[in-house]
């Protein structure tokens, strides 16, 4: 790994920030960063939604700041429930639609985004930075590092030979590590390599909820019925495995993460549903933000991050917020 020019460039960048040669900015408000050092699929958005929900339950005002990956706009923008994916990106829009009472904004420059938020009447808020662990120009009060139980970052390699987008030693800046997609039975962290730094570790799993409608589907899919699964996320395998326990996944159209559906692809979906009227379309909340304007009817499978006990969840929430 360390023979790679990419690895040396990353190490030099971290060294310049650590020595203060490259400056970073902090703000005198609660700022929580949710991030990873791998490419996609570690559950950052479900964790952001977990924090939003918990903060709302504590009577706080959550504000989510995201880059807005894939949007066709630039600069700072508040996300509205009726926005389009082109304006905001899919994940910020997903969060806003699930929690409309939260403030959600996008800005590729996180420091500038924080400045804009702080002059917009959100000084009393709790800020959540979505996917900003590598954005070292902004220094968060707490850093949550997400990693997939099935492929922990300690055993992975840098791009293009693996899925790491940063050196494993970057984990030393985290305040805790959250493992996602853990097995729901037995010891959830059995066999996982020991971290180099003594960090609090929290195992979690993904919990799927009952299908929710979008674009006014005609009927709810019944247990055992055939479904057409359409996904454009980093790792659709866990969702597919879950659906196969209760439905017949007769066709899976699996696209890359953040995929923008072309008219040809949308027409293919319409054709498949027209040829097989007994099929129901099932997708994710993130994909639904990109399908909603198509007129294609279907069902969303909501997913949430779950800790193995309420005590564990409370301990984690106290660590990153100080709240009980």
Q: Which residue has the tokens 């808020």?
A: 125
Do 154 and 255 reside in the same domain of the chain? no
> Is 3 inside any structural domain?
no
pLDDT at 188: 84
Do 95 and 162 reside in the same domain of the chain? yes
Do 128 and 251 reside in the same domain of the chain? no
pLDDT at 245: 95
Q: Which domain holds residue 269?
A: 210-301
Do 260 and 293 reside in the same domain of the chain? yes
pLDDT at 1: 47
In order along its 324 residues, the chain shows pLDDT tens digits of 445 788 889 999 999 999 999 999 999 999 999 999 998 789 999 999 999 999 999 999 999 999 999 999 999 999 999 999 999 999 999 999 999 999 999 999 999 999 999 998 876 899 999 999 999 999 999 999 999 998 889 889 898 888 999 999 899 999 999 999 998 777 888 877 777 678 999 999 999 999 999 999 988 899 999 999 999 998 899 999 999 999 999 999 999 999 999 999 999 999 999 999 999 999 999 999 999 889 999 999 999 999 999 999 999 999 999 998
> What is this structure's pTM?
0.93
Strands (E) located in the chain? 31-35, 62-66, 77-78, 103-106, 126-130, 142-148, 176-180, 201-208, 212-214, 226-231, 248-254, 280-283, 298-300, 303-307
> Is 157 inside any structural domain?
yes
How many distinct structural domains can be found in the chain? 2
Bond prior to 160 in cis (omega within 30° of 0):
yes
């Amino acid at each position: 790994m360390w023979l790679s020019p990419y690895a040396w460039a990353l190490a030099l960048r971290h060294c310049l920030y650590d020595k203060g040669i490259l400056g970073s900015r902090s703000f005198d408000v609660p700022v929580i960063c949710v991030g990873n050092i791998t490419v996609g699929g570690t559950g950052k958005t479900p964790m952001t939604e977990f924090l939003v929900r918990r903060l709302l339950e504590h009577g706080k005002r959550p504000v989510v700041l995201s880059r807005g990956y894939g949007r066709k706009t630039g600069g700072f923008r508040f996300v509205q429930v009726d926005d389009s994916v082109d304006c905001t990106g899919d994940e910020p829009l997903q969060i806003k639609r699930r929690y409309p009472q939260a403030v959600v904004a996008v800005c590729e420059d996180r420091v500038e985004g924080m400045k804009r938020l702080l002059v917009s009447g959100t000084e009393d808020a709790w800020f959540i930075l979505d996917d900003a662990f590598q954005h070292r120009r902004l220094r968060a009060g707490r850093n949550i590092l997400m990693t997939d139980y099935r492929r922990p970052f300690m055993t992975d390699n840098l791009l293009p030979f693996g899925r790491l987008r940063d050196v494993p030693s970057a984990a030393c800046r985290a305040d805790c590590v959250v493992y996602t997609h853990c097995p729901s039975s037995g010891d959830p962290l059995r066999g996982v390599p020991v971290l180099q730094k003594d960090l609090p570790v929290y195992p979690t799993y993904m919990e799927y909820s009952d299908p929710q409608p979008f674009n006014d589907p005609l009927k709810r899919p019944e247990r055992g019925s055939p479904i057409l699964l359409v996904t454009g996320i980093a790792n659709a395998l866990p969702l597919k495995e879950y659906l196969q326990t209760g439905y017949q996944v007769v066709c899976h159209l699996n696209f890359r993460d953040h995929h923008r559906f072309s008219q040809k692809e949308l027409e293919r979906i319409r054709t498949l549903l027209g040829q097989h009227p007994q099929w129901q379309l099932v997708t994710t909340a993130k994909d639904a933000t990109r399908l909603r304007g198509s007129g294609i009817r279907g069902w969303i499978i909501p997913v949430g991050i779950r800790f193995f006990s309420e005590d564990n969840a409370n301990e984690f929430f106290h660590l990153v917020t100080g709240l009980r």
